[in-house]
């Protein structure tokens, strides 16, 4: 990704350093591997769902954490004490992973659940009261 010069923003917009941090986070996100595959679904105006294919992982081996507007999902396989297995074909990858998502300022993780090899994470964008649309009554002027 080519370098983006944000200097004009800094001269014109107060507080645009937050935008620079988002651009930097987007650049880092591009460097992540495509494993494991995932979907991001828009449920309605304020609700989202991330569904991640985590075949071969148990609930105990998957960690979901949030901090500093980031959602981090990691899968750590426990070392196998079983005898080494011989595969004729191994199409199910059970390697460790870590995937990071940058969350918007008012997005919170509501729930996480695992079913049939899929991890579902529900998120909600909370609109602060001052930013919600409100109707202004038209009355008599003073």
pLDDT bracket for residue 67 (50, 70, 90): very high
Nearest partner of 101 among 21, 32, 18, 2, judged by Cα: 32
Domain span including residue 25: 1-31
Report the domain count for the chain. 2
The distance of Cα 115 from the centroid of its chain, to the nearest Å, equals 19
Asked, for residue 25, whether it belongs to a domain, the answer is yes
Do residues 24 and 51 both lie within one domain? no
Instruction: In whole angstroms, give the CA distance from residue 17 to residue 116.
Output: 42
Whether 51 and 37 have beta carbons less than 8 Å apart is answered as no
pLDDT over threshold 90, residue 48 = yes
Q: Which of 48-57, 98-107, 132-141 has the lowest mean pLDDT?
A: 132-141
Q: What is the pLDDT of residues 68-114, one digit of tens each?
A: 889 999 999 877 666 788 889 988 877 899 999 989 888 999 999 99
Domain co-membership, 6 together with 50: no
CB 76 within 8 A of CB 87: no
5 and 41 in a single domain? The answer is no
Q: What is the pLDDT, as a whole number, of residue 77?
A: 87
Residues 67, 114 within the same domain: yes
CA dihedral 1, 3, 72, 121 (to 10 degrees): -60
Three-class HEC string of 18-54: HHHHHHHHHHHHHCCCCCCCEEEEECCCCEEEEEEEC
Same domain, 22 and 49: no
Q: What is the CATH number of the domain that holds 123?
A: 2.60.40.790
* pTM confidence score: 0.69
């Amino acid at each position: 990704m080519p370098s983006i010069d944000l200097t004009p923003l800094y001269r014109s917009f107060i507080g645009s350093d937050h935008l620079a941090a988002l651009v930097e986070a987007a650049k880092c996100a591009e460097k992540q591997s495509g494993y494991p595959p995932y979907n991001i679904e828009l449920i309605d105006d304020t609700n989202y769902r991330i569904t991640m294919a985590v075949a071969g992982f148990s609930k105990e081996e998957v960690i979901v954490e949030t901090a500093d507007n980031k959602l981090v999902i990691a899968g750590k396989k426990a070392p196998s004490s079983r005898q080494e297995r011989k595969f004729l074909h191994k199409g199910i990858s059970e390697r460790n992973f870590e995937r990071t998502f940058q969350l918007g300022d008012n997005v919170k993780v509501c729930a996480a659940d695992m079913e049939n090899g899929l991890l579902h994470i529900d998120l909600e964008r909370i609109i602060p009261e001052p930013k919600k649309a409100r109707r202004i009554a038209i009355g008599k002027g003073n």
